[in-house]
A and B are shown apart, each in its own frame.
Chain A
Amino acid sequence: AQKITQTQPGMFVQEKEAVTLDCTYDTSDQSYGLFWYKQPSSGEMIFLIYQGSYDEQNATEGRYSLNFQKARKSANLVISASQLGDSAMYFCAMREGQRRKLIFGQGTELSVKP
């Protein structure tokens, strides 16, 4: 069973608008962490934001925020005021409990239009 699901293979957004990238996860652990990474065309993965399962507030990092809905098992990334440089692949990932490995979703390709 897929542990991390990103249902949007591709998204378009107009420059300066906000966009939400969906991520749902599946785990029976009570303790886990959720991550979002950006991968520009250069290929290098860039860490954006992190949410712990026990964190009571949604994480925010500059223009990035994570809409964490624990009961729904969703951890959507919200990018406010999109910029052309936001065009990239975005990956959601999860680490469960004490397991060492990070599991990634399929990715969403975001294109920002001028």
Chain B
Amino acid sequence: DVKVTQSSRYLVKRTGEKVFLECVQDMDHENMFWYRQDPGLGLRLIYFSYDVKMKEKGDIPEGYSVSREKKERFSLILESASTNQTSMYLCASRVSLGGTVTFSGANVLTFGAGSRLTVL
């Protein structure tokens, strides 16, 4: 029962190509996230979306854009891929935390299996 699906497990692209990474969740979650994972740096947040058509920049948004036209789908776009964007990309989703600070183990992120992108 896969809950967060990333369409491509491995991609190889050329410098300058436009790259789409797709993520779909079937849990009716409001919040979705794109992280980038690099050795020694851990996971760094690129963008997140807290609702349909809503997005917010993370810590490293440069060179990336996102699209969330439907609740279940969150796409990461590399307008012109560069070699320094070679990385593992992880998508995640979560229920909305609402307007109050509610800390619960249920508010964890559910991750996809990741997309390993190589830009030549």
Using CB atoms and an 8 Å cutoff, list the residues of chain A in contact with chain B. Answer: 4, 6, 9, 31-33, 35, 37, 42-45, 47, 49-50, 52-54, 91, 93, 95, 97-98, 100-107
Using CB atoms and an 8 Å cutoff, list the residues of chain B in contact with chain A. Answer: 31, 33, 35, 40-45, 48, 50, 56, 58, 88, 90, 92, 97, 100-101, 103-105, 107-114, 116
Report whether A42 and B103 are in contact in the complex, using a CB–CB cutoff of 8 Å: no
Main SS class of interface, A: loop
Instruction: Give the residues in chain A near B58, CB-CB below 8 Å.
Output: 101
What is the minimal beta-carbon distance from A34 to any residue of chain B, in angstroms?
10
Among residues of B, the one whose C-beta sits closest to the C-beta of A59 is B105
What is the minimal beta-carbon distance from A90 to any residue of chain B, in angstroms?
11
Total A-B pairs, Cβ < 8 A: 65
What is the minimal beta-carbon distance from A30 to any residue of chain B, in angstroms?
10
Report whether B113 and A102 are in contact in the complex, using a CB–CB cutoff of 8 Å: no
Alpha-carbon distance A24/B115, docked complex (angstroms): 29
Instruction: Give the residues in chain B near A4, CB-CB below 8 Å.
Output: 42
